[in-house]
Each structure stands twice: as C-alpha cells, then as structure tokens.
Amino acid sequence: MRLSSLSVHSFAVTSPMASLILSPSLPTSCSPAIPTITPSPRRAPSSFLFISSGRHAVAGARLLATTFALVESNTSSSRDEEEPILPLLQELSDCLYLPLDFLSKLPGDLRLDLNDAAFDLANGPVLDECGKEVGDLFLNLSRAWEQADTMTSNSIASKLPSLHGYLTSDVKPAIGKRLLSVGRRFEAMGQYEQGELQRISRAMIKIGKFLSTGPVIQTEKSPKKETKIFKISFVGAKPRHTKRYRKLVSVCE
C-alpha cells in the first residue's frame, strides 16, 4: 500500500501532463471541442436581413405594380383615342356613297358649291400636310367631285376606313382642318333630295372636330428672340447742361 501511494504521488509530481489532463478549465478527451465564434461587427443579424429583404421585395412589388398600372392606363387611353376614328371613317364612307348620277344632277349653284368643297379638300401641299396615302385619296376624290363622277366618288369613299392606320398624330390636325372646311361647304348647300348633303356635312364636321382636337406637333425650330430697342428722341429740345458745359470748357482752357 505504501509503494502504490508513493507511485501515485510521484506520477502526480513528475508527470507534466497530469495537471493539463485534470484541469477543469480545458476540455477532456471525452467532451467534444466546441469552437467559439465571435460575431463579426459587419455582419447583420439574420432577422434584420429578412426584414430588409422583405422591405425591398415589397417596394419592388409596389414599383412593378405601379409600372404596370401606368402602362395599362397609357395603353387604355391611347385605345380610347384611336378606337372612335374607325367608326367615324366608316360613317363618312357610308354618307358619301350616293345614288348613281347624283352629282351630275345637281343644280348649277350646288355644282359650284361642290367645286368649292373639292378645292378645300385638296388645295395646297396636301401630300406634305396629310401624308401620301391620305393626300392621294383627297386628290382623287376632289377630282371626282369636280367632274361630277358619282361612281368614282363612291369607289374612293369606300376606301376611307382603310386610312385608319395612316392617321398619325402629326397629320391629324391638318386632315381635320380640311374635313371641317369641306363639311361647312356641304352644310351651306342646304337641304336637297333626301338630305344626302346634310348627312355628309354632319359626318365630316364630326370627324374633322375629332381630328383637330389632337395634339399639334411642334417643329424643332427655335423661336426667334425679339430684341426691343428703345429710342429716345430729342427733336426740338436742347439739353439743359449745354451752357454749363461750355462755360466749364472755357474755364479749363
């Protein structure tokens, strides 16, 4: 028993690893090593990241919804502006479809009014103002009216709805202005036969007003700067300081 206790005592004294093995501050071989991780100050907590990403997602969703709403509203407004044109063109085409020999049977005074309407429809730079397609149709229709050719006029009038795609924003005001002028010419013809001329007048004035209310495209020409020059006239009046100035000059001399 004495030897065993002495051996244990000597092992405890001589073995340098004993204090390390029996030290409570260090983990033993049975307990797994758990590394200690210190949180980085630059790393945000997961809850903050979740909230931040959630806010960004909500903001992105709202922005996307707003964008879609604006696009849809612009599309619907453009559709609202474009859709009424086709029915108006069809209405005008139907009103211009006249019985055979209708134009040739007009009285002399109405023939003169018809010639004035033909002039208002296609006078001037019609191709430049209304576009080639619309301008050509106006020229041909004007020629048919001047010749009192009802059949040709009916054939040309049937092509009016096909011009729907050529009524761009830069030519609408000019087209509307011409149709308004022609419509007033037909209105001045008064009542004749079954009211065909007045129906043409109402249809032309309606579509003319509709096209004339469109936005007018401004040219890129810079406006001229006006320079105002104010001139002061001393006609019949002498400056009061003339005598003093002469006296001062004489003294200095």
pLDDT of residue 213: 82
- Tell me which of 139 and 214 has the higher pLDDT: 139
pLDDT of residue 71: 45
Domain parsing of the chain, residue ranges:
90-212
Q: Which of 22-26, 62-66, 96-100, 238-242 has the lowest mean pLDDT?
A: 22-26
Q: How confident is the model at residue 82 (pLDDT cuts 50, 70, 90)?
A: low
pLDDT of residue 56: 54
pLDDT digits (tens, 9 = 90+) for 33-71: 444 545 444 554 444 444 445 555 555 556 555 554 554
CA distances from 110 to 141, 186, 233 (A): 17, 9, 61
- Does the global pTM surpass 0.85? no
CA distances from 115 to 58, 81, 111, 147, 181 (A): 67, 33, 6, 9, 13
Is residue 3 predicted with pLDDT exceeding 50? no
pLDDT of residue 80: 46
As a whole number, mean pLDDT of residues 199-223 equals 75
End-to-end CA distance of the chain: 145
Q: How confident is the model at residue 240 (pLDDT cuts 50, 70, 90)?
A: low
pLDDT digits (tens, 9 = 90+) for 123-155: 999 999 999 999 999 999 999 999 999 999 999
As a whole number, mean pLDDT of residues 70-88 equals 60
How far is Cα 14 from Cα 73, in angstroms, rounded to an integer?
A: 91
pLDDT digits (tens, 9 = 90+) for 159-168: 999 999 999 9
